[in-house]
Chain A
Amino acid sequence: GNSVTQMEGPVTLSEEAFLTINCTYTATGYPSLFWYVQYPGEGLQLLLKATKADDKGSNKGFEATYRKETTSFHLEKGSVQVSDSAVYFCALSDYSGNQFYFGTGTSLTVIP
């Protein structure tokens, strides 16, 4: 079946620190992979996506590379800001693109 496992939190970093949030997946076929972000009191927002192996998604300084050989899609940012404090969800869509599977989320707090 399809599933997503992501690094447990919470994660606390100082401003300008390097961020990595690990995500691995299990899927049949060729899923698309996503990172969503949920800011306090708001709905989920698409952060970035990658639709095939070796694709790199990027947005707002965040990056993630679709690694088929390691079934991973780790989220990275070189220098986090206080405004990046949020919950980050890794997700995949199945071969049909109709059904999404989310990880449990990783809470990030960035302190000045």
Chain B
Amino acid sequence: DAGVTQSPTHLIKTRGQQVTLRCSPKSGHDTVSWYQQALGQGPQFIFQYYEEEERQRGNFPDRFSGHQFPNYSSELNVNALLLGDSALYLCASSPFGTEEGTDTQYFGPGTRLTVL
């Protein structure tokens, strides 16, 4: 059973560019959340997708947007990149409406984004 997968593993961009990160949830999971983890910090919640809609959003600007596809995979898009966007971006999936509960999240290995 494959866990949560993310691509690419590493990415280098320059200021002002746009980036798209991808996530495939664990089999049987339909809810995907995205987090930003700066070096030496805990993950910060960006947003959560369920049924192809953004269900909840953290304190991130509109430059951060996402999408969820019918197969439950998801993309995170960041426009007009800033140096401060350099971080590890984590995707987590969870099963909605099961005994295990939406609050049991399984994390992928992350995408390391460096903005120069």
Contacts and interface: CB of A to CB of B under 8 A. Distances in A.
Contact of B56 (A4, A99, A103, A104): A99
Contacts of B109: 42-43
A66 interface: no
Interface residues of A, number: 24
Nearest to A46: B104
A93 interface: yes
Contacts, number: 57
Contacts of B41: 104-105
A44 B107 contact: yes
Interface of B: 4, 33, 35, 40-45, 48, 55-56, 58, 90, 92, 101-110
Interface in A45-75: 45-46, 49, 51
Interface of A: 4, 32, 34, 36, 42-46, 49, 51, 89, 91, 93, 96-105
20 contacts: A42-B109, A43-B110, A44-B107, A49-B103, A89-B43, A91-B42, A93-B103, A96-B56, A97-B101, A97-B103, A98-B55, A98-B102, A100-B35, A100-B43, A100-B103, A102-B44, A103-B42, A104-B40, A104-B42, A105-B41
